Amino acid sequence: MSTQPILLITRKLSKNTEIRAAETYDVRLNPEDKLYTPDELLQKCQDVDAVLPCHSELFSADMVAMLPERLKIIANHSVGLDHCDLAALKEKGIVVTNTPEVLSDATAEISMLLMLGAARRASEGDQLVRSGKWEHWSPSFMVGTQVTGKKLGIVGMGRVGQIMSKRARGFDMEVHYHNRTRLSSELEDGAIFHEDLDSLLSVSQFLSLHCPATPETTGFFNQEKIALLPDGAVFVNTSRGALVDEEALINALKSGKISAAGLDVYLSEPGGNPALASLDNVFMLPHIGSATFETRDAMGFRALDNLDAYFAGKEPNDRVA
């Protein structure tokens, strides 16, 4: 009989992660990568010591109340924690960790891709060539917005925001940011701090969101905030769809107040928003900000590091509850 802790891994992770997990734990895998229903997830949690879930698994207060006493730790394969009711988990005595830092470069890359793709009408151009309907060219054909030298506003200057800022400076962009606290001059690296969000929005020819979804930030990017942007601004979101009032964004894209948007996240996932998908001036990706081979290994290993620390009687480095 195995004395290894029993670990439930809820989704198919990188091969290297699953191999490493099997060396230390009695692992319950999901080779079909099936999204468990809440009832299925609850059932699979009944006889395990630890769970390594992704953002796709919801641990609501109701779910947490039905978790077994033997479940001691949830080591998330994500940075975001809006799928976990941290207060309920803490009260239940279940340790919760996440995987910060390791996906910052990959997510910032996707932000740059979305910014460039939205500004230069990449989605329209790709569809035109693929459909065989590219039949002419002129100086007025497929004219987009230039990125170089423009003002970029960043909401949330954490790890991803800081890397986005660094990458944007490669395009000679003037970086402005809003954050709960001002960064040191070294971390700012020339970026201009706005204590007031409205002040940031008023100068943001490009706006990129890099803040978590919390009760305070949910739906904050609404009609009122959009109205503060310069006319024709380009909007990018790789954080969480919950930050955005999608109806207000759609109206702004239709009116031209926002000239284009690059989106990797949506209120409804998977699936997205068909009304956004119908607009030519939206460049869309299916929540793949961290989807590189290198990052998937790093995320899996970071989650396992937290599990290893816990079962060795140590404090996990990335404990959040």
> Among 18, 174, 188, 269, which one carries the catalytic annotation?
269
Whether pLDDT at 271 is above 80: yes
What whole-number distance in Å separates Cα of residue 57 and Cα of residue 235? 28
- 212 found inside a domain: yes
Mean pLDDT of all residues belonging to the chain = 97
176 is catalytic: no
Within this chain, do residues 261 and 175 fall inside the same structural domain, yes or no? yes
Whether pLDDT at 260 is above 70: yes
Whether pLDDT at 234 is above 60: yes
Place of tokens 């609501």: 60
- 316 found inside a domain: no
As a whole-number percent, the residues of the chain with pLDDT over 90 amount to 98
Whether pLDDT at 2 is above 80: no
Confidence (pLDDT) at 96 = 98
Within this chain, do residues 230 and 218 fall inside the same structural domain, yes or no? yes
As a whole-number percent, the residues of the chain with pLDDT over 70 amount to 99
109 is catalytic: no
- 319 found inside a domain: no
Within this chain, do residues 176 and 216 fall inside the same structural domain, yes or no? yes
SS3 152: strand
The stretch 198-216 carries a mean pLDDT of 96
- 43 found inside a domain: yes
Within this chain, do residues 248 and 297 fall inside the same structural domain, yes or no? no
Confidence (pLDDT) at 130 = 97
Within this chain, do residues 37 and 157 fall inside the same structural domain, yes or no? no
Confidence (pLDDT) at 1 = 54
Provide the domain limits for residue 216: 104-284
- 1 found inside a domain: no
Whether pLDDT at 123 is above 70: yes
Tally the domains of the chain: 2
> Among 55, 287, 296, 302, which one carries the catalytic annotation?
287
Take residue 244 and report the two structure tokens written for it. Answer: 């955005």
240 is catalytic: yes
> Among 20, 159, 167, 240, which one carries the catalytic annotation?
240
What whole-number distance in Å separates Cα of residue 299 and Cα of residue 316? 15
Domain holding 137: CATH number? 3.40.50.720
Provide the edge-to-edge strand list for the sheet that holds 151-155. Answer: 192-193, 174-178, 151-155, 206-209, 233-237, 258-263, 282-284
Within this chain, do residues 120 and 72 fall inside the same structural domain, yes or no? no
Within this chain, do residues 69 and 137 fall inside the same structural domain, yes or no? no
Within this chain, do residues 307 and 236 fall inside the same structural domain, yes or no? no
* Long-range pairs, 181-184, Cβ under 8 A, ≥24: 183/157
